[in-house]
């Protein structure tokens, strides 16, 4: 994602007066700062915001449609769950790194050509989905779609920020944009059941193509304020980017597929991880020895940026409760998308309200309060979900999931505002570095957290299965009665008592496995709640230290003013 369009111009406007003040004698008048574009009227602002949200939804639908219909697509392609997951992995592999390269390409060759070419490529990629005939062709097309979708999130940011004046871009603008990034997941799950009933896979991607065609004229009808071009691309950037793209792509496949093929069972997973380490090491070696690196690793690994990265990783960990863990819990109970439409409608509304409230807090300078409220909501919501049983249905999780959605919308904007302000203070090249931090934590970090939580569920399921199986003894009268009750439903079609009893045992084993999974997901919800609560405690300690630190430090003696 990128916000260089208007933010970089603002940073240059603030920096130029400071440089001019340091000049004692000048032979020529200082260069005039570029004039700010006139503030747009309210209808124009709403149109630009709507266009930005449309770009976010267009890009997000392509990312979330497969995830939302993973089990339904098994029937479409006659594939296993592990094979269908390749569709999601193929989409994320190029998307994880391409935005970094596109930022520099846009800065050098101009915003207008970048925007026009991006939307055309995405429309073409959406058309290709309609010609998919089997899983292998679908994987190839999903890889192309991931490449084409990478610029759209940048355009979404730029169009939304274009609607706000300079002093509102890092408050209202950033909150609106980041809230827009969270809308696609619930929208995809709301519209998927109706589309799947019409024509399956083709309906989903006909919808994606239609949204892309709606977004196409927005590029030509709504111009953006173009920042000055700068020649920032170098030949070495190509080699460095190839190593970066290969490394992040291998990581995307590794984390997406690892828990389905299991980490230590498939040898090719180890090869993917080794290739990722080698490629990223080569990229780091190249970048550390460059005068003008594509990614300034020394700045990225500074103390402040490591703190921001840790906060963003925590965000991805705690919000994975809603995006992946809760979804898998519903699927384990046999709850399909058509039964969760109301739930995701509530999540969508809570996300919008959370983003609006966060914008209000940032304008009133209560940024830290937004973090405290966000973590509190997520911790409480995840704890409520940890009380789930095999009788839990979406109706019992409306309140908890709404809390988590609102907290997620409030968490990210304050962190991003601080990061963008720090990057802009150092100049345009550092926006690329901050984007690298954000993309790694939000895309690769999301894949890592999803893989970690999914693996945790699998491990806890095995643990609970062993505990429950110990109590399943055929000589127990209660167990024998339960087997008889389960087998009775097949009494009219199976006359052999031995086969009938075996069927009852099999059905009881299925119920034990389901109960073990329910307990495993409850443990995962509780783990997320504990991690969020720990993050909240650390945040409160940090805020308290910032309050008492000035009282503990001795006041510095006032210095006499110097004559200029």
Which residue range(s) make up the domain with 168?
1-17+39-223
Answer yes or no: do 249 and 187 share one domain: no
Structure-token pair, residue 159? 């169009």
CA distance 341 to 186: 9
Answer yes or no: do 219 and 239 share one domain: no
Answer yes or no: do 158 and 56 share one domain: yes
Structure-token pair, residue 242? 């190839």
The 8-class DSSP code of residue 289 comes to T
Kindly state whether residue 397 falls inside one of the protein's structural domains: no
Answer yes or no: do 168 and 189 share one domain: yes
Kindly state whether residue 5 falls inside one of the protein's structural domains: yes
CA distance 146 to 214: 19
The 8-class DSSP code of residue 291 comes to S
> What is the pLDDT, as a whole number, of residue 111?
62
CA distance 86 to 183: 24
> What is the pLDDT, as a whole number, of residue 287?
80
**Higher pLDDT residue, 59 or 104?**
59
> What is the pLDDT, as a whole number, of residue 27?
39
> What is the pLDDT, as a whole number, of residue 25?
37
**Cα Rg, the chain, nearest whole Å:** 26
Query: What is the reported pTM?
Result: 0.80
Answer yes or no: do 125 and 207 share one domain: yes
The 8-class DSSP code of residue 337 comes to G
CA distance 157 to 176: 9
Mean pLDDT, range 530-548, rounded to an integer:
85
Three-state DSSP at 133 gives: coil
Answer yes or no: do 217 and 248 share one domain: no
Lowest mean pLDDT among 152-156, 382-386, 403-407, 506-510: 152-156
Lowest mean pLDDT among 29-33, 192-196, 394-398: 29-33
> What is the pLDDT, as a whole number, of residue 34?
45
The candidate with the shortest Cα–Cα distance to 107, out of 430, 541, 489, is 430
CA dihedral 189, 193, 198, 200 (to 10 degrees): 70
Query: At which of 203, 223, 243 does a domain end?
Result: 223
**Higher pLDDT residue, 17 or 66?**
66
**Number of structural domains found in the chain:** 2
Kindly state whether residue 324 falls inside one of the protein's structural domains: no
pLDDT(349) > 60 = yes
> What is the pLDDT, as a whole number, of residue 7?
41
Q: How many residues does the chain have?
A: 564
């Amino acid at each position: 994602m990128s916000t260089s369009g208007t933010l970089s111009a603002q940073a240059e406007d603030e920096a130029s007066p400071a440089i001019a003040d340091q000049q004692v004698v000048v032979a020529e008048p200082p260069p005039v700062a570029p004039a700010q574009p006139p503030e747009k009227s309210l209808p124009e602002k709403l149109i630009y915001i709507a266009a930005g949200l449309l770009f976010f939804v267009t890009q997000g639908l392509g990312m979330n449609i497969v995830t939302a219909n993973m089990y339904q697509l098994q029937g479409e392609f006659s594939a296993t769950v592990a094979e269908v997951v390749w569709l999601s992995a193929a989409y994320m592999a190029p998307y994880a790194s391409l935005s970094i390269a596109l930022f520099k390409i846009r800065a050098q060759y101009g915003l207008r050509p970048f925007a026009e070419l991006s939307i055309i490529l995405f429309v073409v990629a959406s058309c290709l989905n309609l010609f998919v005939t089997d899983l292998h062709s679908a994987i190839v097309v999903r890889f192309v779609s991931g490449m084409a979708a990478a610029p759209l999130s940048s355009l979404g940011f730029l169009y939304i920020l274009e609607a706000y004046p300079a002093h509102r871009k890092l408050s209202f603008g950033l909150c609106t944009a980041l809230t827009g990034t969270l809308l696609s997941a619930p929208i995809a799950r709301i519209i998927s059941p109706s589309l799947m009933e019409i024509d399956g896979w083709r309906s989903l991607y006909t919808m994606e193509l239609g949204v892309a065609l709606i977004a196409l004229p927005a590029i030509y009808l709504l111009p953006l304020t173009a920042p000055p071009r700068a020649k920032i691309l170098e030949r070495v950037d190509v080699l460095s980017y190839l190593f970066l793209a290969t490394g992040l792509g291998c990581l995307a496949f590794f984390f997406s597929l690892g828990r389905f093929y299991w980490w230590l069972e498939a040898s090719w997973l180890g090869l993917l991880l080794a290739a990722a380490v080698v490629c990223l090491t080569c990229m780091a070696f190249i970048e550390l020895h460059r005068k003008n690196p594509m990614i300034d690793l020394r700045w990225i690994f500074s103390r402040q940026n490591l703190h921001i990265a840790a906060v963003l990783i925590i965000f991805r960990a705690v919000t994975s409760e809603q995006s992946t863990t809760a979804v898998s819990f519903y699927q384990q109970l046999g709850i399909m998308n058509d039964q969760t439409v109301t739930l995701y409608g509530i999540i969508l509304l809570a996300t919008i309200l959370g983003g609006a409230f966060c914008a209000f807090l940032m304008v009133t300078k209560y940024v830290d309060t937004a973090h405290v409220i966000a973590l509190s909501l997520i911790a409480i919501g995840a704890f409520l979900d940890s009380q789930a049983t095999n009788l839990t249905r979406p109706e019992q999780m409306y309140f908890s999931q709404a809390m988590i959605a609102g907290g997620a919308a409030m968490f990210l904007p304050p962190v991003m505002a601080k990061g963008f302000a720090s990057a802009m203070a150092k100049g345009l090249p550092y926006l690329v570095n901050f984007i690298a931090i954000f993309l790694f934590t939000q895309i690769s970090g999301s894949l890592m957290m999803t893989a970690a939580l999914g693996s945790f569920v699998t491990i806890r399921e095995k643990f609970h299965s062993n505990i429950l199986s110990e109590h399943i003894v055929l000589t127990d009268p209660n167990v024998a009665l339960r087997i008889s009750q389960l087998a009775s439903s097949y009494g009219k079609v199976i006359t052999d008592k031995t086969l009938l009893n075996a069927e009852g045992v099999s059905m009881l084993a299925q119920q034990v496995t389901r109960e073990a999974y329910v307990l495993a997901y409850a443990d995962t919800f509780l783990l997320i709640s504990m991690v969020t609560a720990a993050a909240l405690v650390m945040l409160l300690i940090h805020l308290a230290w910032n309050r008492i630190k000035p009282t503990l430090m001795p006041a510095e003696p006032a210095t006499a003013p110097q004559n200029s």
